[in-house]
């Protein structure tokens, strides 16, 4: 983990959604998905946000990604406030996201090389030949060969599709990647392979990771620090080793007690899947 100035700062962020409206369409009831959350992340660090379904962790990630506007508080990147839906090209390039469902996050009509290099096209950073070459390099980085360039997502396994999603996130050389339950749709063996890949990429590149997960074992393997979230609030925050060995809150103790062991020593066969 790299020390220094904060790359990302989440300052007293709250997100409230309308749950019910009256016959005139006026809000009558609300749900507080996130309440007064403050966190920071430095370059090269992996921070895990762990909690059960409905805890607010995915809403918090969507807020950082600019997909949801905070009701209160602010999100800062390198000291600059990020605004929902109004990201500068540089901010959009430097903050990427890997979604939970690798099948749903890839356009079924696009070749793999087109999906991986789509950001380069949108940002007008490379022409077709250079985009294809860059896609080939990125596929090699995530353990897939050039033979995957002209395939479509339906021809790949779940683990291979998630590797493609990771390659796509790396295409614009980001400083921060948001990981929203990136392995929960995969079986245990493939999950271990993807986790090892993420750890290798993060270690070599120094990219900061913000991991959203319900699985303490995943967070413990990948993260330097863990924030435990419940009911929209951060109830515990500390080094991963401390959270796993001596959690302070009853809720965190229950999460740790229910944690299965992730076998990250699973052998990887050719093209990334068993």
SS3 of 120-174: the string is HHHCCCCCHHHHHHHHHHHHHHCCCCHHHCCCCHHHCCHHHHHHHHHHHHHCCCC
Quick one: pLDDT at residue 1? 63
Quick one: pLDDT at residue 243? 95
66: its two tokens: 């600019």
Quick one: pLDDT at residue 191? 87
Using alpha carbons only, what angle is made at residue 244 by residues 238 and 249, rounded to the nearest 5 degrees?
A: 70
Phi, psi at 58, each rounded to 5°: -70, -35
Q: Report the number of distinct structural domains present in the chain.
A: 1
In a domain, 257, yes or no: yes
In a domain, 273, yes or no: no
Quick one: pLDDT at residue 3? 56
d(CA 263, CA 13): 35
**What CATH number corresponds to the domain at position 143?**
3.40.50.300
Within 8 A by CB and 6+ apart from 2, the residues are: 42, 43, 44, 45, 206
Quick one: pLDDT at residue 261? 64
Label residue 41 exposed, middle or buried (CB < 10 Å: 0-12, 13-18, 19+).
Answer: buried
Radius of gyration, alpha carbons of the chain: 19
In a domain, 51, yes or no: yes
In a domain, 206, yes or no: yes
In sequence order, the β-bridge partners of residue 37 are: 13
85: its two tokens: 């839906």
Using alpha carbons only, what angle is made at residue 103 by residues 97 and 104, rounded to the nearest 5 degrees?
A: 65
d(CA 170, CA 165): 9
d(CA 247, CA 262): 19
Quick one: pLDDT at residue 274? 40
In a domain, 195, yes or no: yes
In a domain, 1, yes or no: no
Q: Are strands 72-77 and 80-82 parallel, antiparallel or unpaired?
A: antiparallel
Range(s) of the domain holding residue 151:
6-265
pLDDT one digit per residue (tens) for the chain, 274 residues: 655 689 999 999 999 999 899 888 888 899 999 999 999 999 999 999 999 999 999 999 999 998 899 999 999 999 999 987 777 778 888 999 998 887 888 999 999 999 999 999 888 888 999 999 999 999 999 999 899 999 999 999 999 999 999 999 999 999 999 999 988 878 888 888 899 999 998 888 889 999 999 999 999 999 999 999 999 999 999 999 999 999 999 999 999 998 876 565 654 444 445 4
**What pTM was estimated for this model as a whole?**
0.87
Phi, psi at 73, each rounded to 5°: 85, -175
In a domain, 61, yes or no: yes
- SS3 (DSSP) at 53: coil
């Amino acid at each position: 983990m790299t020390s220094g100035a904060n790359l990302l700062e989440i300052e007293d962020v709250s997100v409230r959604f309308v749950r019910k409206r009256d016959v005139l369409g006026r809000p009558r009831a609300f749900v507080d998905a996130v309440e007064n959350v403050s966190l920071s992340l430095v370059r090269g660090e992996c921070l895990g946000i762990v909690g059960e379904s409905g805890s607010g962790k995915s809403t918090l990630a969507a807020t950082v990604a600019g997909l949801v506007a905070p009701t209160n508080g602010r999100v800062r990147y390198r000291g600059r406030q990020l605004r929902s839906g109004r990201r500068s090209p540089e901010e959009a390039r430097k903050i990427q996201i890997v979604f939970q469902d690798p099948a749903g996050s890839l356009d079924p009509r696009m070749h793999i090389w087109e999906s991986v290099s789509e950001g380069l096209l949108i940002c007008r950073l490379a022409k077709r030949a250079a985009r294809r070459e860059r896609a080939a390099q990125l596929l090699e980085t995530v353990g897939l060969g050039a033979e995957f360039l002209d395939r479509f997502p339906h021809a790949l396994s779940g683990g291979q599709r998630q590797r493609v999603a990771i390659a796509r996130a790396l295409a614009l050389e980001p400083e921060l990647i948001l990981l929203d339950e990136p392995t929960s749709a995969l079986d245990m063996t493939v999950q271990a392979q993807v986790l090892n890949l993420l750890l290798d990429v993060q270690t070599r590149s120094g990219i900061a990771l913000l991991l959203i997960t319900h699985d303490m074992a995943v967070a413990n393997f990948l993260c330097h620090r863990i924030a435990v979230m419940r009911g929209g609030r951060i109830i515990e925050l500390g080094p991963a080793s401390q959270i796993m060995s001596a959690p302070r809150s009853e809720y965190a103790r229950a999460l740790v007690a229910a944690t299965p062991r992730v076998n990250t020593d699973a052998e990887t066969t050719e093209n990334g899947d068993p």
